[in-house]
Structure 1
Amino acid sequence: MDTFRARIGGFAFGGDYNPEQWDRPVWDEDVALMRRAGVNLVTLGVFAWASLEPEPGRFTFAWMDEVMDLLHAGGISVDLATPTMAPPVWLTHGHPDVLPVMEDGETFGFGNRLHFDPASPRYREHAARITTALAERYSHHPALAMWHISNEYGPTSYGGHSAVAFRDWLRRRYGSLEALNDAWYTRFWSQRYTSWDQIDPPEVPRTWSNPTRRLDFKRFVSDANLACFRMERDIVRSYRDDIPVLTNYMRFYKHADYWTWAAEQDAVALDIYPDPGQDDAHVAAALNYDLMRSLRGEPWILMEQAAGGVSQWKVNNVKRPGRMRLGSYQALGHGADSVLYFQWRASRGGHERFHSAMLPHSGTRSRTWQEIEALGTELPRIAEAAGSGSHADIAVLFDWNAWWGLTETSGLPRNDFDYPRIATDHYRPLLEAHHAVDTVSFGSDLSRYKVVVVPNAYLVDDAFTDALTRFTENGGTLVCSFFSGVVDAHNHVRQPAYPGAFRALIGAYIDEYWPARPDETYLLTRADGTTAAADWWQDSIHPESARVLASYATGALRGRPAILENTVGRGRVVYIGTRLEATALRDTLLDAVAAAGVSPLLDHAPAHLEATRRTGEDAEFLFLLNHSDTETVRVPLTADGIDLVSGTKTDGAVELAPLAVAVVRSEPRRAAGGGRRVG
């Protein structure tokens, strides 16, 4: 990515460009307006398969040649996409076996997008052909800066091709039917398999369904889509290996394990559309951004966001004045090296005809265009922050296997867990207290952190349990919430007693899980005499080596422990055995963080003031964002610097009007020990 950053010369700014939707005279106007707005990168060709290959094997590249040349002449680089996310009708009509079969047995038909079975050999054959043709023609075009493989992967098919591929995947994973039967616990309900051909993708559950079979199918779907990416990636790399290759992820997307995917591409990229109708949408957005940065431990690409409203929800609110700019700086503060949109020019027809664009239907007189143009003019002021890294002493677990185990299999004490919401609830207090946060997976190196937060990790593998044990023994602080460490990677309940994986860590065993009845709440009394509220869940906890930090003051478990503290080696474990209300969860988390010796980026700043820091070789960049529509905030600073956005010296403080931003450049400081620097 260093070559890409050097070419762009700062932060990338632009968006998806679909010139095939417009007559030729519009192209010249587009390039002129892109230059006026400060655009330096566009994504080209995402939806263009039918325009590039109108009939099997007949390519029409003349229009693409002209667009590439026009963009290059205008000083605009190209992120060139392979168009394989939207197969043309000649492919699906001539070969209907490429279409995915849904879980209910119905075919997912043409007229949508992502209408392909990733396991279909015929789909892969045609995807390889168009990718090869593009690579042959454009690999050495001077406009090419990046390869964008397909788009928002994730189709799932339950048909014949997937059945064959699933069986092959299972053979590689287990080696023998005996091992598979043991992993799937097929002795239950007489489900034992005696031939690989007997295994199919899981159907819609009529009552209930084998939980490990469903878990493995989620793993397979992620890997099947990744195989499609790898195929196209390897084709374009075979023609030129110095151009970065990536694809774009989506916020909290369940069908692809991005920890596995990130290692296979040259950068992480994200498409994200926080709902402007939700006042706190920026919190979950921030978690997504920290996840993207953590996947590869380096700056990432904001590939798509909306300039205004979108078109996919029941009510599509617009971004109020100033919100688009604020959200763009938020992504940059959390490690993005770009501000890109879907799309450049609003489409006249099709499903997304009312989706906002950098250049709306109302043209350059629109408020959206004026905000876009202003941002494009402003971003070069902070160009030196591009490529800079980040440092965090706190990590929050966000792992796809933990997610799938908790929400994709039935038969749990509760079957209404929302894993992204749970993770966000644990992340929010840290963000609002101005702490830097990474995310980690089961396979991450935990030694670089002082605090690790594990929200509702029902399923954990042995390696993660061992890593947490080493982490705490070596002096780390673990904060873990209820219903964690219960099953192994095969979804088998660990023995003996709950929570098998974490029993030694929390210093207690649990004999029963008590989901709450509707509207049931509990009062807790802490060891210091203060009280807190909880609901939704209770663990029936029996301490062994743990000390009780809080007990139930009401309910059937009155007098029993609710929150524990346990010493493990030189470290500390705090276990939360219920769902605490927001204030109590905040206090518990922040008390643990403070006791671990972790300091926030800012002291005594309001929760609606967001602070993040990026650090380069020669400077440090403190991003400050005021999310309030009404309140002005004065932020005291511990080091003198200059606000790159306004060009003014900070003189010990920055004043931020409602929805204002500042990027304060100062001399770099040495990173605190035990944390993580990326980039």
Structure 2
Amino acid sequence: MNPGMDAFRARLGGFAFGGDYNPEQWDRAVWDEDVELMRRAGVNLVTLGVFAWASLEPEPGRFTFDWLDDAMDLLHRNGISVDLGTPTAAPPVWLSHEHPEVLPVMEDGEVFGFGNRMHYDPTSPVYREHAARITTALASRYRHHPALAMWHIGNEYGPTAYTTAAAAAFRDWLRRRYGDLDALNDAWYTRFWGQRYSDWEQVGPPEVPRSWSNPARRLDFHRFVSDALLECFVMERDIVRSYRADLPVVTNFMRFHRQTDSWRWAAHEDAVALDIYPDPGQAGSHVAAALNFDLMRSLRGEPWLLMEQAAGAVSQWRVNHVKRPGRMRLGSYQAVAHGADSVLFFQWRAGRGGHERFHSAMLPHSGTRSRTWREVEALGRELPRIAAVAGSGSTAEVAVLFDWNAWWGLEVTHGLPRNDFDYPAIVTAHYRPLLEAQHAVDLVSFGSDFGRYRVVVVPNAYLVDDRCTAALEAFVAAGGTLVCSFFSGVVDERNQVRQPAYPGAFRRLIGAYIDEYAPLETSVAVRFADGCVASADWWQDSLHPETATVLATYLDGDLAGRAAVVTNSLGTGRVVYVGTRLDAGALRDTILDAVAAAGVAPVVRDAPPHVEATVRGGFLFLLNHSGTDTATVPATGVDLLTGASVDGAVTLEPLGVAVIETRS
């Protein structure tokens, strides 16, 4: 139960619809038009103040709240609620001018100056003091304002600093983690290259590696940065809660954001929120979007908030493609299908200047005559038709592991057999077959309860801790199916190779040992037991089955005749281990065969791969991601978007959506 979010949904009458609103960037005369058009579009929530620190505190200690008072009052009179942001992601110039120590220093020693984005050192005591002051002033003034519906802390946390303050905070973090220098030296294996520390003052953040540097030190620094940023969030969260504790407190995560461990952060929020901008020019970008949406839902096991998306084009890519007609609607319903209880945008009105002056908005520069506006207005009218969906949950029998420690271990520590791993791409490749086969999927981490699932998929978990290994063994022994890919279970949480080596933690699970890891520069052929031949590239484990049975062998290359894919029994469960990078079709068949053998049924049957199917409560979402092909999908019930009865099947137009209240 989440009383704060239940009250939030009740206040809005279902889904939140709106976006970031920046009235401080516009003359007061524009505000009345804004609010009139918001009502016309069905906007019921806006986020205020996220970048407004300089407008709220133009000089140290001098607050100018009159304009925000007027904006809050105007919105309330027109029935629009406010998600009030603390503006601490955008410190004013007077702060860094008077206290230059609040600016981050980059890994190469260069100062990250004012005028950039995220121009603050999260470990700076001066920054934290001023952030606490503006947060306290906001919370004190607006805690009982009738427009206030939610607190929004900071924005897209991410700065990293290599300052004196960061070094001191890193040492404090290490003391808490390890206790003494002997434990730190052991964890970092400082006996290698004679890097042993004899005094805490010798320990600092890792510099730019001029040749190579200690991988455990780099790993711990990433953990520390995530925790230091979390401290900033918690500080401000506690301030606003001290003034008004019944309202939800959130911040906004980002798509595949490596800097902050979302599993650790989610427990400290009242709801998970996401900013996401799938590239409409990238084929299949909806797959990674779906993964991110499922991750957000899984972090707390409950509905989440789509905090930012684009109504059209963005401004950060080399080429910023416009969303073709229907794509914005489809993407919005995709988020809702995967558990979002809001459809929010950045931003309400397109900005005249600044870096994002060509970033799309609900109200574009071309105004109400634009296609984007017409689509936004239509979506705002349509979304209330599915209000009954808000607050409903989802269940899944399949889970995919996505853990920040596994990510950091693969990408930030270097010195691996190959150093070009892309963890999000790897996880997406394992997730795609499940999405395209219309399976419900949760994301899990090292500390998750695997016993809730029939199948767990573990992509390239190079680093795993002991609790994860024990939980996976217990899961399989109790009858679960584990699908695991190469270079997994290799090192412990200290980034030290497990002994006896290869695959270390997973040897009992996979029923085989590996004598060496062999990156590939060419492709090789692989034959499966049923006679099917596939290709593999990029990587080979030199696998030696012990209790495992061979499912596929190499036909050529240095490992010709040797095992490429094996299966192993443990207790009443089963493990499938893939020791190479299979082509997409072979990986799909391997994963889906394991899922089918485990008795897991898809959400719908006989649907093409470009149709996405999810269930929330008693509501079936069907989304056609093809821009050219119609699709007929089995379904029975009432389509809430059209009011039409569906008896046995529904036809989806290209980019079409159906939300069916099922009769079963």
> What is the match of residue 677 of structure 1?
none
Q: Structure 1 CA distance, aligned partners of 2:407 and 2:438? A: 26
Q: Structure 1 CA distance, aligned partners of 2:195 and 2:633? A: 63
Secondary structure in structure 2 of the residue aligned to 1:479: strand
Q: Structure 2 CA distance, aligned partners of 1:611 and 1:527? A: 32
> What is the match of residue 564 of structure 2?
562
Q: Structure 1 CA distance, aligned partners of 2:420 and 2:312? A: 32
Counterpart amino acid of 1:44?
L
CA offsets, 1:117-157, max 9 Å, x none?
Answer: 00000000000000000000001100000000000001000
Answer yes or no: is 1:223 the counterpart of 2:223: no
- CA deviation after TM superposition for structure 1 residue 529, in Å: 1.6
Q: 1:651 aligns with which of 638, 647, 650?
A: 647
Q: Structure 1 CA distance, aligned partners of 2:357 and 2:405? A: 37
> What is the match of residue 663 of structure 1?
659
Q: Structure 2 CA distance, aligned partners of 1:666 and 1:415? A: 48
Answer yes or no: is 1:507 the counterpart of 2:503: no
> What is the match of residue 452 of structure 2?
448
Counterpart amino acid of 1:633?
A
> What is the match of residue 605 of structure 1?
607
- CA deviation after TM superposition for structure 1 residue 497, in Å: 2.3
> What is the match of residue 88 of structure 1?
92
- CA deviation after TM superposition for structure 1 residue 629, in Å: 1.0
> What is the match of residue 145 of structure 2?
141
Q: Structure 1 CA distance, aligned partners of 2:18 and 2:387? A: 15
> What is the match of residue 119 of structure 1?
123
Secondary structure in structure 2 of the residue aligned to 1:541: strand
- CA deviation after TM superposition for structure 1 residue 667, in Å: 3.6
> What is the match of residue 621 of structure 2?
623
Answer yes or no: is 1:411 the counterpart of 2:407: no
Counterpart amino acid of 1:52?
L
Identity of aligned residues (%): 76
> What is the match of residue 398 of structure 1?
402
> What is the match of residue 176 of structure 2?
172
Answer yes or no: is 1:197 the counterpart of 2:193: no
Stretches of 4+ moved more than 4 A in 1? none
Q: 1:590 aligns with which of 587, 592, 596?
A: 592
Secondary structure in structure 1 of the residue aligned to 2:527: strand
Aligned pairs (5 A) from 1:402-481: 402-481=406-485
Counterpart amino acid of 1:453?
V
Structure 1: gaps of 5 or more residues: 669-679
Q: Structure 1 CA distance, aligned partners of 2:372 and 2:501? A: 58
> What is the match of residue 64 of structure 1?
68
Q: 2:30 aligns with which of 26, 36, 58?
A: 26
Structure 2: gaps of 5 or more residues: none
> What is the match of residue 634 of structure 1?
632
> What is the match of residue 342 of structure 1?
346
Answer yes or no: is 1:268 the counterpart of 2:293: no
Q: Structure 2 CA distance, aligned partners of 1:407 and 1:153? A: 20
Q: Structure 2 CA distance, aligned partners of 1:480 and 1:634? A: 34
Answer yes or no: is 1:359 the counterpart of 2:355: no
Answer yes or no: is 1:577 the counterpart of 2:579: yes
CA offsets, 1:578-606, max 9 Å, x none?
Answer: 00000000000000000000000111111
Aligned residue-pair number: 660
- CA deviation after TM superposition for structure 1 residue 653, in Å: 1.1
> What is the match of residue 239 of structure 2?
235
Secondary structure in structure 1 of the residue aligned to 2:395: strand
Counterpart amino acid of 2:528?
R
TM-score by length of 1: 0.97
Answer yes or no: is 1:324 the counterpart of 2:328: yes
Q: 2:524 aligns with which of 506, 522, 525?
A: 522
Q: Structure 1 CA distance, aligned partners of 2:519 and 2:538? A: 6
Q: Does the CA contact (< 8 Å) of 2:606 and 2:633 recur in 1?
A: no
Q: Structure 1 CA distance, aligned partners of 2:167 and 2:128? A: 16
Counterpart amino acid of 1:526?
F
Q: Structure 2 CA distance, aligned partners of 1:346 and 1:391? A: 38
Secondary structure in structure 2 of the residue aligned to 1:97: helix
CA offsets, 1:442-485, max 9 Å, x none?
Answer: 00010000000000000000000000000000000000000000
Counterpart amino acid of 1:585?
L
> What is the match of residue 286 of structure 2?
282
**RMSD (CA atoms):** 0.5
Answer yes or no: is 1:14 the counterpart of 2:10: no
Q: Does the CA contact (< 8 Å) of 2:479 and 2:574 recur in 1?
A: yes
TM-score by length of 2: 0.99
Counterpart amino acid of 2:349?
R
Q: Structure 2 CA distance, aligned partners of 1:127 and 1:530? A: 61
CA offsets, 1:85-104, max 9 Å, x none?
Answer: 00000001110000000000
Counterpart amino acid of 2:189?
Y
